[in-house]
């Protein structure tokens, strides 16, 4: 069985939600299921909608990554991650919450199911909106990379860049920016707020080697990891050196 290719979870979720919703609606229409199961159908519909969003965004991101590979990064423009990207994770969690909500609804406690779904939805949206441990934006400048953390900024001169590379598994790529004098870069934080420093230190702590590199999660600033690494290498001249 090791040679059997497993179906991705998001595809499985989409198929399961569609079949479940169709089965419940058909059961209600034929009188097999009680009329109160319409609340179950609603929750399953939310599951189907969430699973569909996850699949659509996955395909859009795949095309976006291919398009970005050949596009230059405009200097002086702050790049940020569109909100529809992290909503993918929120929708995946909402889908799970909808399944959990359908269970009490099926035995007559639709209000309990609604409470479960709303709780999970709030958690998912908070996770999507959080900026802890991530850069809110990047600006490529002639002399370096400006990183937006919380409401503060820090500056990485191109001359301080030692290396940059793509890390992590295929399904969760990230970028690792190793720098010289990381403490001086952290000291460039402006304004030097407690929250901004915490986020900057966390970015530095997640890098490899720890405390010497900044970690950028996939789709930081709306860029896939490969594009971000390429752009930094081109800005520092490393790309042309490698080509030679």
Neighbours of 86 (CB within 10 A): 21
Class of 137-243 per CATH?
Answer: mainly beta
* pTM score of the predicted model: 0.85
156: left (phi over 0), alpha (psi -120 to 50) or beta: beta
Per-residue pLDDT of the chain (244 residues; tens, 9 = 90+): 334 455 678 899 999 999 999 999 999 999 888 888 999 999 999 999 999 999 999 999 999 999 998 888 999 999 999 999 999 999 999 999 999 999 999 999 999 999 999 999 999 999 888 767 689 999 999 999 999 998 899 999 999 999 999 998 887 899 999 999 999 999 999 998 888 899 999 999 999 999 999 999 999 999 999 999 999 999 998 644 444 4
Q: Where are the domains of the chain?
A: 9-129, 137-243
Strands 161-167 and 152-157, bridge-based pairing: unpaired
**Contacts of 27 by beta carbon, 8 Å cutoff, 6+ apart:** 33, 37
CA distances from 240 to 104, 165, 188 (A): 61, 15, 29
Contact 44, 24 (CB under 8 A): yes
219: left (phi over 0), alpha (psi -120 to 50) or beta: left
Contact 232, 177 (CB under 8 A): yes
Q: Which helix (H) or strand (E) holds 149?
A: strand 144-149
């Amino acid at each position: 069985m090791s040679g059997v290719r497993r179906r991705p979870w998001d595809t499985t979720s989409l198929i399961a939600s569609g079949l479940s919703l169709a089965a419940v609606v058909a059961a209600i229409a034929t009188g097999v299921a009680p009329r109160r199961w319409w609340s179950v159908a609603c929750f399953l519909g939310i599951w189907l909608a969430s699973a569909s969003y996850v699949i659509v965004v996955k395909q859009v991101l795949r095309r976006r990554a291919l398009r970005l590979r050949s596009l230059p990064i405009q200097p002086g423009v702050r790049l940020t991650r569109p909100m529809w990207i992290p909503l993918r994770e929120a929708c995946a969690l909402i889908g799970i919450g909808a399944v959990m909500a359908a269970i009490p609804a099926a035995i007559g406690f639709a209000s309990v199911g609604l409470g479960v779904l709303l709780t999970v939805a709030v958690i998912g949206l908070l996770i999507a909106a959080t900026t802890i441990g991530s850069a809110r934006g990047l600006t490529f400048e002639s002399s370096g990379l400006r990183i937006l953390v919380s409401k503060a900024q820090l500056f990485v001169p191109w001359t301080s860049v030692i290396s940059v590379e793509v890390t992590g598994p295929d399904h969760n790529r990230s970028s690792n920016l190793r720098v010289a004098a990381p403490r001086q870069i952290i000291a460039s934080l402006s304004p030097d707020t407690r929250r901004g420093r915490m986020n900057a230190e966390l970015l530095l702590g997640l890098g490899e080697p720890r405390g010497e590199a900044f970690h950028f999660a996939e789709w930081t600033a709306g860029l896939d990891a490969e594009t971000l690494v390429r752009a930094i290498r081109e800005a520092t001249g490393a790309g042309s050196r490698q080509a030679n």
